[in-house]
Structure 1
Amino acid sequence: MTATMRPAATAAPAVPEVLGRTRDAVQPALRAAVDRLDETSRAISAYHLGWTDADGTPVSGSNGGKAVRSALAVLSALAAGAPQQTGVPGAVAVELVHNFSLVHDDLMDGDTERRHRPTVWALWGAPSAILTGDAMLALAQEVVLDSGSPHAIAAGRLVSETTRRLIHGQVLDVQFEQRDDVTLPECVTMAAGKTGALLSASCAIGAVLAGAPAEVVGALAVFGEEIGLAFQLVDDVLGIWGDPAVTGKPVYSDLRARKKSLPVTYATTHGGAAGDELAKWLAGGETGDEAELARVAALVESAGGREWATAEAARRVETAERAVAAIPAGPREELIGIARFIVHREA
């Protein structure tokens, strides 16, 4: 299949109802938490979260992403037999950690647009982006410790350990930019830290706050780790072949940045002649024009990168589903619905 050919169009998956329901439960607490920040950090955070325009004018509707992580945190409390409100502080915390990472990632990657709007650093500069991200990260810990749960310290530790893993994943991602010998296991380790760690914590933190048994917390954590890797695999596919009108990023954006993403790394290490040619291109210094990027995307596909990433994402979701087989049916079905949505999403 050439880079200009596409599989037959399929209907976009419906957004699970639980995402809207849990967003409504979490948003007031998230806004109240952001209100604790200093005036400047609060204004920039509100813009980044999609609540306001750059001048502070409120925005109607939602422009702040799908809030998958906060939904998982609420569901994890329900899975432990606790009221959904028990998971709300954890939901706020994981949303803040996630958005801290996005603000910093945009700066490190030089991305000037997110969700069809200018990024924080593009509007206010690098120092403001660093400080705003730091403020959100500190606030995440504060929200958990102020939750009133007798298990707040354990949840706070989970937030800290998760942040450390997330940063390690980002460190590896940056290091890979300077290497031409990245292996697939190394790339999976990077993705497990950069994406899997926070989704794992999101799936566990509500149960931790509820004081659930270790086996329940562990099962939910495994579920989150697996869907986190599935999420990153799909994200990497969209980073090459996604529709810019849907993703908000240029076509071939990850190739333009010469990212050692999962499908690219699979292609260079398992893709035969096409993979070897791709590896030579990655080691070179010229990105090339749109036609060249289309040629490189075709190499990734010919070397099996796209097919492997799509199949591996589906396999990870199957593993995740098995991990929560003993979780109560209601929360389990909604967790699985989110996992399947992640694999079939288009942005």
Structure 2
Amino acid sequence: MSTETLSRGSQDNQGHNQGREQGHGQNQGADQQAAGLLARARAIVDPALRTAVDGMPESMARVAAYHFGWREADGSPSAADPGKAIRPALVLAAAEACAGRGADEALARGAVRAAASVELVHNFTLLHDDVIDRDDTRRHRLTAWRVFGSTEAILAGDALHSLALRTLAEDGHPAAGDAMRRLADCVVELCAGQQADCAFEQRSTVSLDECLAMAEAKTGALLGAACAIGALYGGADQQAARAMDAFGREIGLAFQLIDDLIGIWGDPAVTGKPAGADLLVRKKSLPVVAALGSGTAAGAELAAIYALDRPLTEAEVKLAADAVERAGGRAWAQGASCERMAAALEHLAVAVPDPAATDDLLALAELVTRRNR
């Protein structure tokens, strides 16, 4: 990547930021709309999730209930953060968008099993990712593997994966069979993305194209599947479902770009993770790879820090974050997230030609690209 490309990304992002400042009131309205959609999705889908988890063997159900934030480690009720429910909200919103104006709550409830299955798969990946990455905290408390051990967390995740497919298999909706195939294919792609992510840690160099392909598989695939499955439940044909899948993948990449920025510059009080968490473990996230390939002096400084054969000090983590920024990695990631959103809107227009039917999907897409944790 050239310094000219990074500079252009910075200029584009500055213009976008100015536009966002002008539309601050509009953003607040979109945030409120998205918050309502997430709350509705959680209220509709949670009963199906609890029913699925209650059907697990008690030992695994205890781990899953803790992970979902419903129970403490000792089994007592908990009011912990259960997560945002972005993926099930996308399923419901896509179903309603593809059904057209006038779609009602009954349609959303008809897609409840599909939305629950997507959320079960998402949490299966979280349980496994926390073990693989050795993450200590999630949603401001200890991860399941830190509480119950790696074996218990992995097995609970495996069970959630099976429950997701069973949830669809038992659904009588005409789109359930296609949805199950899409979700199964998505899990294979997710695993390939996770494998690539782990492999990158052992390599001294990773190209930006490789990193973007990994991010699409690891993050974009499930958001794409959520949108496509919702579209099918809303009566969409295969062409529209493919366009919705592309829409979800693009917002997934935008999501990952923002997530990678948070992994370096996120506020620990908000994220629940230490400052520079990704740099501390020398993760080759998108801003880091962009900086390493920038051909700048700052990029070389970052490479030298990443090459150290020992744990990084707090001061070195701060130096690494500064190097990523000076090399243009931060500005590039911010600009790239905006470009992905623009591409997502083009795909959405193909899937749902009526702009009035896409308000909820747009509100959710905006939410994931303006998140801070």
Which TM-score band applies after superposition, normalised by the shorter structure?
Answer: over 0.9
Residue 252 of structure 2: which of 228, 247, 266 is its match?
Answer: 228
- Name which of structure 1's ranges 234-243 and 82-91 shifts more when overlaid on structure 2: 82-91
Corresponding residue of 2:13:
none
Residue 347 of structure 2: which of 317, 323, 326 is its match?
Answer: 323
Corresponding residue of 2:50:
31
CA distance in 2: counterparts of 1:237 and 1:286, whole angstroms: 24
Q: How does 1:139-218 map to 2 (within 5 A)?
A: 139-218=163-242
Given that residues 73 and 205 in structure 1 are in contact (C-alpha distance below 8 angstroms), is that contact kept between their aligned partners in structure 2?
yes
Q: Pairwise CA RMSD of aligned residues?
A: 1.7
CA distance in 1: counterparts of 2:369 and 2:215, whole angstroms: 15
| TM norm structure 1 | 0.93
CA distance in 1: counterparts of 2:39 and 2:357, whole angstroms: 15
Q: Deviations over 1:236-263 (max 9, x none)?
A: 0000000001011100000011100000
Please tell me whether residue 106 in structure 1 is matched to residue 125 in structure 2: no
CA distance in 2: counterparts of 1:146 and 1:77, whole angstroms: 19
Structure 1 runs not aligned, ≥5 long? 1-6
- Name which of structure 1's ranges 290-299 and 331-340 shifts more when overlaid on structure 2: 331-340
Given that residues 166 and 198 in structure 1 are in contact (C-alpha distance below 8 angstroms), is that contact kept between their aligned partners in structure 2?
yes
Shift of 1:210: 4.2
Shift of 1:271: 4.5
Change (3 A) 1:271 1:236: farther
Shift of 1:288: 2.2
CA distance in 2: counterparts of 1:150 and 1:213, whole angstroms: 12
Aligned residue identity for 2:58: E
SS in 2 for 1:181: coil
Q: How does 1:72-83 map to 2 (within 5 A)?
A: 72-81=90-99, 83=107
SS in 1 for 2:358: helix
CA distance in 1: counterparts of 2:357 and 2:268, whole angstroms: 34
CA distance in 2: counterparts of 1:24 and 1:289, whole angstroms: 44
Aligned residue identity for 1:341: L
- Name which of structure 1's ranges 32-41 and 225-234 shifts more when overlaid on structure 2: 32-41
CA distance in 2: counterparts of 1:258 and 1:288, whole angstroms: 9
Aligned residue identity for 1:37: M
Aligned residue identity for 2:83: G
Change (3 A) 1:226 1:47: same
- Name which of structure 1's ranges 143-152 and 65-74 shifts more when overlaid on structure 2: 143-152
Aligned residue identity for 1:63: D
Given that residues 97 and 234 in structure 2 are in contact (C-alpha distance below 8 angstroms), is that contact kept between their aligned partners in structure 1?
no
| TM norm structure 2 | 0.87
CA distance in 2: counterparts of 1:185 and 1:129, whole angstroms: 32
SS in 2 for 1:277: helix
Aligned residue identity for 1:152: A
Please tell me whether residue 338 in structure 1 is matched to residue 364 in structure 2: yes
Corresponding residue of 1:3:
none
Given that residues 68 and 82 in structure 2 are in contact (C-alpha distance below 8 angstroms), is that contact kept between their aligned partners in structure 1?
yes
Aligned residue identity for 1:301: E
Identify the structure with bigger relative contact order (alpha carbons < 8 Å, sequence gap 6+): 2
Aligned residue identity for 2:210: E
Aligned residue identity for 2:54: D
Q: Deviations over 1:53-91 (max 9, x none)?
A: 11111123x611110001001111112216112321111
